[in-house]
């Protein structure tokens, strides 16, 4: 049944590869637990008490509350699928309660550090340098996710309309504007990028193959290490920085939501906390009675 559920996620829900892998891993871990503790390898026959005991065992092993909550979400989705398909009559995951977790504000790079990255750091004029600069400008200039960057095809770029077509989570398409720096660097990169390459993916490796996650992560980490001491030096922190800087400069929250490709405003509102924290800091530093 796990495989049928995974196929459902992949082909009907069109979930991201990351989500599919996470859900499959969680359910396979449950399967092992049920076999060891209850001599049963069929999750579809599990009872509420069995699921509860698995969650308790995870907590006793010191699992992060966020990780446990994700596993609970996996269980809820799996058993909801079984219930809809009439494979089970009662949903044993309904009794599970998510754990309280601390809210972590998204880190972002200060604007002056971003300016240093693009205005002061020297990128070589060869293909590698121009490719790296293009990828960084796309990540920060449009706020796209790593998976979205890797999915960009040559046909998704419209230099005349100054737009980029992005395929987001669950295949949802959106159009984002291209910044001035991108309109300058993209034609140079496209000229350097051999048109005879066997792939139509925009960002490619030095050997001409489509770029892959670790390739971009290493590249971003290398360049961000020059301008920030933050522990997190990932493509996603450029997305956080993009959203935070837009909000700090007065952009409408709903507009930021659409640009980021969020399905609901709650996911975008987390960036307002960073703005409030910045206001508090300014108040503390400047107000005579602070």
Taking only the tens place, the pLDDT of each residue in 189-199 is 999 887 667 88
Q: Which residues of the chain have pLDDT under 50?
A: 283
The conformation of residue 201, written as its DSSP 8-state character, comes to B
Tell me the angle at which helices 111-119 and 235-248 cross, rounded to the nearest 10 degrees: 120
The pLDDT assigned to 283 comes to 45
How far is residue 242 from each of residues 129, 177, 271, measured CA to CA in Å?
Answer: 22, 13, 10
Residues 205-241: tens digit of each pLDDT: 999 999 999 999 999 999 999 999 888 899 999 999 9
Rounded to the nearest 5°, which phi and psi values hold at 204?
-125, 165
pLDDT at 216: 96
Domain residue spans in the chain?
2-95, 111-285
- As assigned by CATH, the class of the 111-285 domain is mainly alpha
Say if residues 72 and 25 touch (Cβ distance below 8 Å).
no
Positions annotated as catalytic residues are 145, 169, 236, 239, 262, 271
Domain 2-95, second-level architecture: Orthogonal Bundle (1.10)
User: How far apart (Å, rounded) are the C-alpha atoms in residues 243 and 241?
Assistant: 5
Q: Minimal CA–CA distance to 256: which of 268, 245, 248, 267? A: 268
């Amino acid at each position: 049944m796990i495989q049928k559920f995974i196929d459902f996620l992949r082909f009907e829900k069109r979930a991201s590869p990351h989500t599919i892998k996470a859900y499959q891993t969680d359910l396979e871990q449950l399967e092992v637990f049920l076999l060891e503790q209850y001599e049963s390898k069929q999750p579809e026959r599990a009872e509420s008490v069995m699921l509860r005991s698995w969650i308790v065992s995870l907590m006793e092993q010191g699992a992060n509350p966020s990780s446990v909550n994700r596993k609970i979400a996996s269980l809820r989705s799996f058993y909801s699928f079984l219930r809809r398909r009439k494979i089970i009559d009662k949903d044993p995951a309904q009794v599970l309660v998510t754990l309280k977790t601390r809210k972590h504000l998204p880190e972002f790079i200060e604007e002056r550090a971003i300016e240093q990255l693009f205005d002061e750091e020297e990128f070589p004029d060869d293909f590698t340098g121009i490719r790296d600069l293009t990828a960084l400008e796309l990540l920060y200039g449009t706020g796209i996710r790593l998976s979205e960057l890797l999915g960009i095809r040559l046909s998704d770029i419209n230099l005349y309309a100054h737009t980029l077509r992005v395929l987001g989570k669950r295949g949802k398409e959106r159009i984002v504007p291209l910044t001035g720096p991108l309109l300058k660097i993209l034609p140079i990169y496209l000229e350097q990028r051999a048109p005879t390459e066997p792939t139509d993916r925009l960002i490619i490796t030095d050997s001409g193959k489509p770029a892959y996650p670790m390739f971009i992560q290493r590249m971003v980490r290398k360049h961000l290490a020059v301008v920030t001491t933050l522990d997190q030096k990932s493509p996603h922190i450029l997305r956080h920085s993009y959203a935070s800087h837009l909000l700090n400069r007065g952009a409408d929250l709903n507009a930021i939501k659409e640009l980021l490709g969020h399905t609901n405003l709650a996911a975008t509102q987390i960036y307002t906390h960073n703005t409030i924290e910045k206001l508090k800091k300014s108040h503390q530093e400047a107000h005579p009675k602070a």
